[in-house]
Amino acid sequence: MRVRVLGSAAGGGFPQWNCQCPNCGALRRGKIKARPRTQTQVIFSPDSKVWFLLCASPDLRQQVLAAPELAPPADRPSPPIGGVFLPNAEVDSVMGLLHLREFQTFFVFATRGVQCVLQRENRIFGVLERANPPVKWQTLSAKGRLGCHMSEDSSGPADFICATVPLGGCYPDYVSEEMLRAVPPEEASIGFVIEQSEKRLFFAPSLSGSSAMWKSEVESADATLIDGTFWSDDELMRTGRSSKSAREIGHVPLSGPGGLLEQFPTKGKGRKILIHLNNTNPILDEDSAEHRMVLDAGFEIAYDGMEFEL
């Protein structure tokens, strides 16, 4: 399976349009050794022909245009995008669906809870139904395994498996109280294990800390793309971006007691790659001590254009 990172930043990207934190300010002035990054978007392909999207990033239009493999082939009117997997209903994960609205049909894989939030409470996503045939919603359970096919004909053996892993966490702030009472909490945020030919890719861009089920997946994955949003729990407060801690907005920080670096299983042999990096995160500065520390701990740091084969 081929995997490409089209975007590696958290919400807002890097730099963020309204942010003057040390990272964003220095990047604008050319005073930092760091790469600009668009918002988190990963694509994978079991056969290098049909591609699937993990997340639907707010930057999806520019990301698709920059990925020649996603362009419609000369002999066919439709692009080789088989489907989109949504890990949660956060704006950063779903807004890109609106970029895919041009009368195109494809599969959208999401939990029932995420589907309810998008379909019943956010009517703008109804534009996806204008395609003929309309977009096909596929229901994922918070913990399960789904055989997936690359073609419309799903009678043969699955081309790959998508296993789902509950990551804890909450539904986004914009979801109404009434909807929150109606949707299962465990369906708010899930990770994906994509399995093909005995290779496993684990994608978990948002670790809340309230579930530890991600740990066993890390141990068996050949590559893990995991939540590297914040370095420290008080990062947003110190940079004046928010009065909330990293944990309060659903992300275990990398450093400190109970942080990802401390919790990460030592048994796993696969590549461990940090993704969904917030613009305030000091690991973005390639000359920083924090950048060096994560590399020394055996992690890679995702960047836009990163590509690998499993």
Question: Would you say 117 and 110 are in contact if contact means Cβ atoms under 8 Å apart?
Answer: no
- Minimum distance between the CB of residue 69 and Zn ion, rounded to whole angstroms? 31
Q: What is the CA radius of gyration of the chain?
A: 19
Q: How far apart are the first and last CA of the chain?
A: 5
According to DSSP, residue 173 is labeled T
- Minimum distance between the CB of residue 19 and Zn ion, rounded to whole angstroms? 3
- Minimum distance between the CB of residue 22 and Zn ion, rounded to whole angstroms? 8
Both tokens assigned to 20: 């003057």
The kind and range of the H/E element at 215 are helix 214-220
Whichever of 194 and 277 has its CB closer to Zn ion, that residue is 277
Whichever of 16 and 224 has its CB closer to Zn ion, that residue is 16
CA dist 61 → 68, 85, 98, 196, 302 (Å): 13, 17, 9, 28, 20
- Minimum distance between the CB of residue 226 and Zn ion, rounded to whole angstroms? 22
- Minimum distance between the CB of residue 30 and Zn ion, rounded to whole angstroms? 15
Whichever of 13 and 46 has its CB closer to Zn ion, that residue is 13
Whichever of 25 and 184 has its CB closer to Zn ion, that residue is 25
At 1 the three-state DSSP class reads coil
Side-chain-side CA neighbours of residue 52 (13 Å): 25
Whichever of 9 and 19 has its CB closer to Zn ion, that residue is 19
Question: Would you say 87 and 109 are in contact if contact means Cβ atoms under 8 Å apart?
Answer: no
Both tokens assigned to 25: 């300010």
- Minimum distance between the CB of residue 254 and Zn ion, rounded to whole angstroms? 17
Question: By the criterion CB under 5 A, which residues form the site for Zn ion?
Answer: 16, 19, 21, 24, 279
Whichever of 48 and 242 has its CB closer to Zn ion, that residue is 242
Count of beta carbons in the 10 Å neighbourhood of residue 250: 23
Whichever of 16 and 196 has its CB closer to Zn ion, that residue is 16
At 307 the three-state DSSP class reads strand
278, exposed or middle or buried, with CB in 10 Å at 0-12, 13-18, 19+?
buried
- Minimum distance between the CB of residue 20 and Zn ion, rounded to whole angstroms? 7
